Structure 1
Amino acid sequence: MKLTSKEQNEALALLRELIKIPSGYFDEENIMNFTKMVAQNYNLPAKLHRYSFKPLEFEGLNLYGLIEGEGGPLIYLGGHLDTVHLASGWTKPPLGATLEEGRLYGTGALDMKAGCAAILYTLKLFLRDYPKFNGKILYHFASVEEGPYGLGTTFFIKDILKQVPDFALIAEPSSALAELDNASISLGAKGGYNYKVYLKGLSTHAATPEMGISAAEDAAKLVLELNHVETLEDPLLGKGASCVIALHSASGACSVPDEAEIEVFRHCVPGESMATIEAEIHDAIARAELKCSYTIAFREPPAQGFDGGFPPYTTDKNNPYVQRLETILKEEIGKEPAYTSSKAIGDFNLIGGVLGVPTVLYGPRGENIHSADEYVTISTYYETIHVLYEFLKKSLT
């Protein structure tokens, strides 16, 4: 199904309107309300889901709709409407939706307002052509994907999702997340856990350090061990990684520091979990031969049923939905897709990792995610609409 010139113009106008609405994470209400109005104008079911996260005194919104056919599978189409906050160095208006030489510029143009607009416009066309179909389509546009915890999708799973989907396609810019230029299907992502180690020593005068226990010295020894833990390797995702991202220890004037705090981000692959990570921390502490006492603290979970992290996941490339998507790209678009994994962590870890749903990323292409002069290549935006339409047609009719 090739888009007509009129349909291309409509789809482009939708995306430009989304880009012009500021929607940095924690500030998504306006774009959620606008997108709900668009969905209703497209005759799509559209509901706002409001959730509350008390630790940050934050009230957030998700937009979703369940389109029901006759029997059949449940297909999840997802994305996020929030963006990172404005970066410096833009040479184009970051909210201007400037179109130049086939590139549409703007904050969130690629990550991932183009993917969300593609889903929305695809659903309009699909229901116009196939008002009766076999199965269900659940679309979901999340908030705070770029912020802490993936709050929008966390609370959507907790409060709204009653049936586990048979397959999930998230229209993230899969090629950019894998650092590729050509079309790609992302089959998984590493997970991640954030934790801190608190060290408690014994302060004394700096003139007699042997009388105390320096938390700073112990922290230095432990950092070396934590940055060199043995991690597992996955055939698709590669190796896990342990990275110390913060270190603090201070004592005031001329004293041995008695406290230190180390913060680590641990990227993990299947076979690694919070339990295995905690065990490796204890092993690292033993190797460092610390004199301090210590406490390990993982990030608190945002909601019941979650552990505060992002589990890793992989999807089998021989999954029939994955094979269907590959066939569409080859036959309809004339492009052999690369199979990749995401170098980033996102809401897809919650859908694919927490829920265990076979999940892929496929979306428009462009450059400069989270950077100045972010852009989406418009031809790949139209291509994504075409591919999503054919995927729904071949999966549900």
Structure 2
Amino acid sequence: MERAGPALDPTVPVLLVKVGRYPQAHSPVGVARSFGRLGVPVHAMVEDRFTPTALSRYLTRPLVAPTDGREPPERLVALIRAAARSVGRRSVAVATDDEAAVLLAEHAEELAAELLLPPVPPKLPRMLADKGELSGICLANDVPTPRALAPRDRGELLAAARDWGYPVVLKNVGSFSRLSRPAVAATTVVHDERELLAACPQAVVASVLVQEYLPAEHAEDWFTHLCCGPGGEPLVVFTGVKLRSWPPGAGITTRARAVPNPELAELAARLCRQIGYSGVADLDWRLDRRDGRYKLVDFNPRTGAQFRLFETAAGVDVVRALHLSLTGREVPRGGQLARQFGVGQVDLMSAAVTAWHERRPPRGLRPHRGTERAWLCRDDPAPALAEAVRFGGTPVLRVARRALSAASRPRPR
């Protein structure tokens, strides 16, 4: 049974804002459940009326507004404004992707009549979502980060890879460019120059970031989820460790555990204070055991996919903290609960592929008490059913075959 949560203002609704097509995402479902269980109306921009989010019992109303992220900014802002006006009351906006977070920050003044927004510096979310800009922000604020470069041409790309040594990591450098002109389909590890040249023809070099690879055998994947008030002062800070991902080693979190880590929490809080970040954020870190430092890999200026892993003893998660802050209510203090998070069949695939590669039985599949599931829950079964029907079967098997093929290659040392 769901614990009682903080006293949110039920007269202030929530609007989930999204840009791009990702109907299978589970973070919007988590937001709808988090607020809906406390009696706060939730409206969501969705691709169609049969997405998992649209079918949640905790969603007050789906607002069909399909986009692909290639629309002109003024068109996207107009869609957000129309969605906000249709709610009928000024709403707390919750961004579920980087592009939405960027637009909300850069157009905050013109959206202020319809939406409650955190007072983040207008250009900051775009800079943080840009992998090249983020590297410079880290260096300027004494925050460890892997070496990274946004190359101007293939010559610079090859020079960086040769200097750092293979393998190297390739990412899409900017928030909107990953939708309009993606250089790679997702975070990609390339193991030699042949793979690098095949992955990066000259036409996409301007959209790619090359990043130093931190070897898996010498590293641990961590993250911090937080919500900051005005001036970057943290309201809640959570820390956890990634146990599995999809694809294995380089994708979305499929299994994670909440683990208190005061050192990492303070590092994330200090960065947000120094840059004045306000709102919800999801920061990905890698502990490099070779030098004992946590290195910032990504700063996502929006709600993270696994945010429901984290909750305090007072029932506060990051989106509830945002609502409390923007409606002028105090955020209750409390330590984070010991929980796990799992993403259903995708985690099963990750465990199976990892076990096949390592030639051992799958581990960590037994349910743990206190596990928060991305999809399946007793009081809201429809999203899990919709996810299984729309996205299970053949497409999943096709992706699994590709992952098994990739896993058959020797891992880099």
TM range (shorter): under 0.3
Q: Which one has more relative contact order, counting CA pairs under 8 Å at least 6 apart?
A: 1
Normalised TM-score (structure 2): 0.25
